[in-house]
Amino acid sequence: MFQLAREEYHRILRIQSETLELERAKFTKCLPYAFTEQGVAMLATILRTKVAEEVSIKIMDAFVTMLT
């Protein structure tokens, strides 16, 4: 897990604001945290519910799709 840099966060907001209404998020004082692919895999080993398993599989699939 790592904290996004201010430039990364603003770039994401610019991309998402084209399709979403994110006016409130632009003024947040705390930068968000993000997980790496390895972080998601490690988190998936800790969370042992059916919903957590399904979500972690979808997230891993999204990482694979982004990398191909």
**Distances in whole angstroms, Cα of residue 22 to Cα of each of 9, 14, 16, 53:** 12, 9, 8, 29
| Residue-wise pLDDT tens digits, 30-58 | 888 888 878 877 877 787 788 888 887 88
**Confidence bin at 11 (pLDDT 50/70/90):** confident
> Which pLDDT value is given to residue 24?
53
pTM of the model: 0.49
The greatest distance separating any two alpha carbons of the chain, rounded to the nearest whole angstrom, comes to 36
- The residue extents of the domains of the chain are 2-67
